[in-house]
Amino acid sequence: MNRDNKNGVFYEIYVNSFYDSNRDGHGDLNGITAQLDYLNTGNPDSQKGLQVDGLWLMPISPSPSYHKYDVVDYYNVDPDYGTLEDFHNLVSEMHKRNMTLIIDLVINHTSIEHPWFKEASAGTSNRYRDYYIWADNDTDLNEKGPWGQQLWHKNPNGEGYYYGVFWYGMPDLNFEKQEVRAEVKEIGRFWLNQGADGFRLDAALHIFDEGTRKNIEWWNEFREAMKEINPKVYLVGEVWDQPEVVAPYYQSLDSLFNFSLADVIVRSIKNSYDQGVVRTALSTEELYLPHNPNKIDAVFLTNHDQNRGMSEWKNNADKAKTAASILLTLPGNPFIYYGEEIGMTGEKPDEFIREPFRWYEGEGDGQTTWRTPEYNTGRNGVSVESQDEDLDSLLNHYRELIRLRHKHVELQKGDLTEIQLNNPHIIAYTRSYENKSLDMYYNISDKPIALTVENKGKKIFSTHTNATLKKSTLIVPPNATVIIKSKSN
């Protein structure tokens, strides 16, 4: 197969909230398969479909929690989501459309209900005991973690205290133990053999909490094992920390989510004031590249752990369009969080940022109902139904920008350079590749701005019809995107 499975636009799905194929209220794998035309029609000339190149599915394995980040069986699909056969079917339909599938791999910890932990917690001589991390006489049981949380938890089933960096319900696995490393590699091989193209590696930073070097050694070991199954396996890590901490992980992984850049984009648009979008993209690139010449930045606006962008931008659809334009014209792989493309809202706690995707203004086939929405209640224009045919909608803006990215190689592979305008209300940059280049101008303020542009060319895209380029004067309307193709190419 000749698929370039590492490059493209990705779409993150919380399966429970996406599309319900069997009317039990829960989204499921068959629902995604049924709605592939919404995501990618498989026909590059089609006007329909978002045309995303890949999907990231949040955890699909059996779990007692609604979010499923605490797994009880790594070798299966949660019954709410379907079966392994449904997974094979999804993979096969996606591959027919040249789409890449990565799934969340949650192996820093298991569920407290995982059979390994049940055994481990039952007795100190159990063979699974040191699959987990137990306090010894020198352990400070009151030690607090990076965000002030309790790290050691009393064993509910027997003796001792165990380590759980996130929550008592998620005991950390002990990666000092060779059997654990072997089991986790087996889990990875299993899912690649089921057809997954790679993984989003949850909590990649926390495998060993005492230092980066051991984490990188582990991820190198994992990557080499995965490459034996699929040399093109795509590995994207979640290292939610400062760029200096993220950088060395590129020695092991293809992509890492650029949390710093996401934060700067969302805040710049929120405050109508550039907080250094291009500067952050360039400085992180400079930090990351020496660790991996083939690294692919994973850029995004928000994910399932953050307030939805549309809530940050107070329902301003023009601001949401600007954010989308920036996301989809930066270097790297853009990751869209499901619902972002229709302007779904939601603020923490987490349940509110993972609400049912809105297909319709009201009810309809496939609409998930596992949770009654507080934010995305329908009948307010935030649905596929209301935006599908509206050419000015946020949804169609996403569709258009993804097509633009596919059409222009400079947006996929081009170098990034800032266009210096000394105006904090404008974000402007060039993407250039070989002899092609595009100039992007975003007015993030509420007033029109007139700019003198040097390398004037042809306006190929704008969100507003009153954006004009005459001689060397470019008028960018409030909260608008303008893209200019340089005359030289």
State how far the Cα of 471 lies from the Cα of 100, in Å rounded to an integer.
Answer: 44
State how far the Cα of 82 lies from the Cα of 76, in Å rounded to an integer.
Answer: 9
Q: Is the peptide bond before 349 cis (omega within 30 degrees of 0)?
A: yes
> Quick one: which segment of 2-10, 15-23, 376-384, 420-428 binds Ca ion (CB under 5 A)?
15-23
> Quick one: which segment of 1-9, 25-33, 371-379, 421-429 binds Ca ion (CB under 5 A)?
25-33
Q: Is 20 in the site for Ca ion (CB under 5 A)?
A: yes
DSSP codes joined into one string, 291-348: G-TT---EEES--TTS--HHHHTTT-HHHHHHHHHHHTTSSSEEEEETTGGGT----S
Give whichever of 86 and 410 is closer to Ca ion, judged by the CB atom: 86
Give whichever of 249 and 398 is closer to Ca ion, judged by the CB atom: 249
Please state the closest distance from residue 31 (CB atom) to Ca ion, in A: 6
Please state the closest distance from residue 384 (CB atom) to Ca ion, in A: 18
> Quick one: which segment of 200-208, 336-344, 385-393, 417-425 binds Ca ion (CB under 5 A)?
200-208
Give whichever of 7 and 212 is closer to Ca ion, judged by the CB atom: 212
Please state the closest distance from residue 20 (CB atom) to Ca ion, in A: 4
Please state the closest distance from residue 285 (CB atom) to Ca ion, in A: 29
Please state the closest distance from residue 206 (CB atom) to Ca ion, in A: 4
CA distances from 324 to 42, 198, 328 (A): 22, 25, 6
Segment 76 to 115, residues that bind Ca ion, using CB under 5 A: 108
DSSP codes joined into one string, 339-376: TGGGT----SSGGGGSPPP--SSS--TT---SS--SS-
Q: Is 22 in the site for Ca ion (CB under 5 A)?
A: yes
Give whichever of 253 and 402 is closer to Ca ion, judged by the CB atom: 253
Segment 120 to 179, residues that bind Ca ion, using CB under 5 A: 172
Please state the closest distance from residue 436 (CB atom) to Ca ion, in A: 45
Q: What residues pair up with 182 in beta bridges, in sequence order?
A: none
State how far the Cα of 150 lies from the Cα of 172, in Å rounded to an integer.
Answer: 13
> Quick one: which segment of 85-93, 203-211, 405-413, 442-450 binds Ca ion (CB under 5 A)?
203-211
Give whichever of 162 and 288 is closer to Ca ion, judged by the CB atom: 162
Give whichever of 180 and 247 is closer to Ca ion, judged by the CB atom: 180
Question: Which residue is listed with tokens 């993150």?
Answer: 12
Q: Is 305 in the site for Ca ion (CB under 5 A)?
A: no
State how far the Cα of 474 lies from the Cα of 376, in Å rounded to an integer.
Answer: 38
Q: Is 70 in the site for Ca ion (CB under 5 A)?
A: no
Contact 100, 53 (CB under 8 A): yes
> Each residue of 324-347: b (16+ CB within 10 Å) or e?
bbbbbbbbbbbbbbbbbbbbbbbe
Q: What number of chain residues touch Ca ion (CB under 5 A)? A: 8
Single out the residue of 28, 86, 104, 254 in contact with Ca ion (rule: CB under 5 A): 28
Single out the residue of 153, 206, 354, 408 in contact with Ca ion (rule: CB under 5 A): 206
Please state the closest distance from residue 117 (CB atom) to Ca ion, in A: 14
Please indicate whether residue 238 is annotated as part of the active site: yes
State how far the Cα of 114 lies from the Cα of 156, in Å rounded to an integer.
Answer: 14
What would you measure as the largest C-alpha separation in the chain, in angstroms? 80
> Taking Cα atoms as reference points, which of 415, 486, 477, 481 lies closest to residue 453?
486
Please state the closest distance from residue 15 (CB atom) to Ca ion, in A: 9
CA distances from 431 to 120, 133, 171, 329 (A): 54, 48, 45, 8
Q: Is 33 in the site for Ca ion (CB under 5 A)?
A: no
Catalytic residue, candidates 202, 312, 340, 439:
202
From the DSSP assignment, how many helices (H) and strands (E) are in the chain?
14, 18
Residue 40: partners with Cβ closer than 8 Å, 6 or more residues away: 49, 50, 51, 52, 53, 97, 99
Please indicate whether residue 104 is annotated as part of the active site: no
Give whichever of 172 and 355 is closer to Ca ion, judged by the CB atom: 172
> Quick one: which segment of 13-21, 89-97, 148-156, 405-413 binds Ca ion (CB under 5 A)?
13-21
Catalytic residue, candidates 28, 53, 238, 341:
238
Provide the binding-site residues for Ca ion, judged by CB under 5 A. Answer: 20, 22, 24, 26, 28, 108, 172, 206
Write out the catalytic residue numbers: 202, 238
